[in-house]
């Protein structure tokens, strides 16, 4: 099936149309299974506006890359995804939001050997920025979702995480960066995977409220750098009381600002 054809999965699945960045972009995604949300926006908003080339590993329906494209008019993105139905939706979303001429697609398993990734269209040593929101392996503490595809999008062995970071390192240009968003409890495994492949590591912990623990981390590394690790102070998405986002994050989610870190 080519990406110009609609898969049976897309035809049969109920999709929702969801607005991001205060309506600047609209994304079609399956109503069930893994759904893009705040993590995708934060990941896309963390891409520097000066970047010219972006690779989104495991892009899903393309939300994070579309956020980055909305912030950086000169950016071109490659979306890599192993689920062909999701990649079809990503292609539709890029076209619907006016980014069709700035996006290419790679039907590829991120954890596949390098030759297979290159054959699918993921170039080696080519991208200024590589982003990913990998599945998080927590199967020992919970139950795998019954929806087809959701288990693969949410749960992953540490060995698989290693392969995701290895793929990011192979695709990033010299001096380029990789940015991952990941649950905070998986930070040790993520740091282990980044070590030896990236330097100048910067960790940004994210918490729901100022007095709460970090639930997510953004990790950025520079290929070829030997600079030491930097641990930034945690940033809270909400005030201590109420459900409103703090002004910094409200501006990000409305598309009025990037995530600067």
Among 142-156, 174-188, 198-212, the minimum mean pLDDT is found in: 142-156
Pick the more confident residue, 39 or 11: 39
Per-residue confidence band for 35, with pLDDT thresholds at 50, 70 and 90: confident
In 10 A of CB 222, how many CB atoms? 18
Which one of 3.20.19.10, 3.40.50.150, 3.30.470.30, 3.40.50.300 gives the CATH number of domain 8-196? Answer: 3.40.50.150
* Residue closest to 79 by CA, chosen among 36, 49, 38: 36
Pick the more confident residue, 9 or 162: 162
Total-model pTM? 0.89
* pLDDT average, residue stretch 123-141: 84
* pLDDT average, residue stretch 107-126: 96
Helix (H, G, I), strand (E, B) or coil at 149: coil
Beta strands 103-107 and 198-207, pairing class: unpaired
Among 21-30, 136-145, 186-195, 200-209, the minimum mean pLDDT is found in: 136-145
Are 108 and 81 a contacting pair, CB within 8 Å? yes
pLDDT at 29: 93
The CA radius of gyration of the chain, in Å to the nearest whole number, is 17
In angstroms, the Cα distances linking 256 to 19, 44, 73, 259 are: 14, 13, 15, 10
CA-to-CA distance for 34 and 116, rounded, in angstroms? 25
pLDDT at 156: 53
Work out the percent of the chain whose per-residue pLDDT is above 90: 80
């Amino acid at each position: 099936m080519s990406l110009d054809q609609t898969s049976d999965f897309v035809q049969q699945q109920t999709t929702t149309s969801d607005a991001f960045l205060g309506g600047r972009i609209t994304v079609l995604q399956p109503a069930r299974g893994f759904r893009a949300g705040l993590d995708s926006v934060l990941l896309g908003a963390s891409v520097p506006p000066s970047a010219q080339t972006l690779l989104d590993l495991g892009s899903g329906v393309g939300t994070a890359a579309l956020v980055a494209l909305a912030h950086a008019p000169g950016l071109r993105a490659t979306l890599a995804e192993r689920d062909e139905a999701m990649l079809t939706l990503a292609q539709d979303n890029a076209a619907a939001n006016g980014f069709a001429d700035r996006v290419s697609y790679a039907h590829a398993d991120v954890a596949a050997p390098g030759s297979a990734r290159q054959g699918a269209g993921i170039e080696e040593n080519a991208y200024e920025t590589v982003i990913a929101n990998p599945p998080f392996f927590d199967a020992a503490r919970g139950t795998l979702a019954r929806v087809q595809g959701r288990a693969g999008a949410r749960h992953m062995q540490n060995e698989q995480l290693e392969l995701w970071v290895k793929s990011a390192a192979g695709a990033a240009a010299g001096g380029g960066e990789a940015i991952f968003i990941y649950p905070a409890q998986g930070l040790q495994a993520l740091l282990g995977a980044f070590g030896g492949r990236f330097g100048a590591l910067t960790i940004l912990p994210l918490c729901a409220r100022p007095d709460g623990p970090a639930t997510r981390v953004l990790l950025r590394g520079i290929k070829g750098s030997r600079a030491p690790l930097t641990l930034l102070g945690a940033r809270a998405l909400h005030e201590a009381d109420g459900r409103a986002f703090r002004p910094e994050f409200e501006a990000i989610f409305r598309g009025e600002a990037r995530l600067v870190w």
